[in-house]
Structure 1
């Protein structure tokens, strides 16, 4: 059997080692992760990707996984060829692991079991023993929560059946909608009811009133577009649940409604006609009222005129009374003077009678008859009787 000389073997070995050293020295080992976010549902197992490029063995390297949300937390530690989790954050204990058989290929990904909503955040894959500048990478983990919607029959409304769909334990907040058997979205009875519990999970509830169809099958769909997850539940409503159709009653009600409408129309027409008549009468009454108002104003004017005339008559009567009083006073004065003159005449007569002989201015004696005639003549000449005007009685 022919063999290679020992010197040739050594030459090939030296050449292989040289090529390996040149190749290793010419490329820098880097830590790479995933540019995409890792999405998971609560309770699932997820893998946070991290590897070395080029693919060199990481069995003897130090690998650190830490959480960056809120504060740095020790999630997993691999060193000296084994897991070393003495200082691991309590909430991750018993839930983390690495693929030891893949370490020789540079795969340092972390598996996280039974993820919870609190696990969401940023994770750092760090290999401090590398000499390159790309010693770490960051992986984003998003955790959602879903649950199966539950449908129940609430009751009936008009000619339909009221259905309720409820689904709790969702994160982030989902959207809920009702569909018929052909996939057409049904109009719900108002907006969905939402509730958020202490763990930030959402419960959504929504009602819909459905009418009887050929299939009587309806679907409640709850979906969360951010995690691209959807849950559906279908229900079949039995025919006997729907209110019984009463066609005769509907026809009768329609006829009754038509009669009511016609009667109401006739009543409205008569009412309008009667109203127009009342409006005309009201206008006539208004005209008569205006006329009466004018007549009342005229009567008031005449009354004011009569009052003025009455005041004038009263004033004239008062003037007449004043004049009458003046004349009465003058008459009383004249009667007093006349009485005084008569008294003086009486005294004079008495004096003459007591002296029967008297000498006249010529020195002759006058007889009694002459004296008497002279006195009477003096009386008539000196004191004529005044003409008295008859005064009206007070």
Structure 2
């Protein structure tokens, strides 16, 4: 005997079917704070995974650390919605709209201000489903080189004063001598925040003579991990050597000698005339001067010869780099599902479609990255990459243990030693991207690794002119690293 299905059961089945048909998505972003220079640009990175944005999706960026959330930028796919945007951010924010199809919903903040520092939310809504990721923006200002000057005589030595301005957040001041001795405990430091929010520091210290008399004032930005420094050498004669009692005794002695000198003035004049005669050069001294002139001429000739030798050695160094050439191929098992690796494993490109691949712990998920199959833990290796006219790319070296699923910033602290191109500019991927000098539209980049010396060097492979280098200490296996970004142009490994 069959059982009848009630109306409530049919309704439940219908609701479950509707829920399962809804699109499932998520957004990811960096866990570490984003650091931006005041007056520069900040990129708040946010990635939609795995699907491309659809027309019914709504994207919002909000500031979440104030008394109430304020809207920074709103976008309903098809157009920006500017009516509700906070006035403080108007005209200073934009999306990477040409990369929406890659799931890139990051926000660029231009002309960064001190008050932009805070907490932000990237929110994506579709069919009443909201996914969001939080991140923190920290602003920074790298202050002026400190001005170091004498501050008069003190009880036991000489006072020094070190002044520097335009820092944010407040920096740390360190004092040291030439031999590396830390003198900071003896210093008195005052930090003042100005009307624009930037900090000025003034530090004073009393120093006494040592064997070198070179003193350094170092002002350090803890957030940027960079330092401005100045040094001052004080002649040994400047330091006080005598107590007040001994000074009084010397003055008395000088007075006594003056009286005695007046009595012997005539004899003194005679001795002075004799000394003048003895100062005239002898034949031997004249010949010594001529010999020194000949030696100086010889030194000039040797310097010119050494300059030519240095140019030859420079070319020899380039040949030594090239001699370390090693075969390199892309590892398709590490390639992000948006990337396609050729059958010969020498070409990779962005294909625009997410590939449904078997789960693999070696594969990059959140970012458009791929590693080489070859890894190194000893010796020297050199390889070249054809970047052609690609508008954006990154390449270099990565350690074996990095996370493949998380959104990781490309910095040496995170195990990436890389450089990249952004439009018409090149930069080293450090905590704060560092602009580097490179010929526009460089077609071929050479990468050189010396594992034992901890050196990663980048070259314009057409003329072997150095571009940039990192120094570190490797503790594990490392692999060549590549990111073609979202442009359709190919990135190739050049056979050597």
Report the structure, 1 or 2, having the larger strand content.
2
Structure 2 length normalisation: TM-score?
Answer: 0.40
Larger % of helix: which? 1
Query: In terms of Rg, which structure is larger?
Result: 1
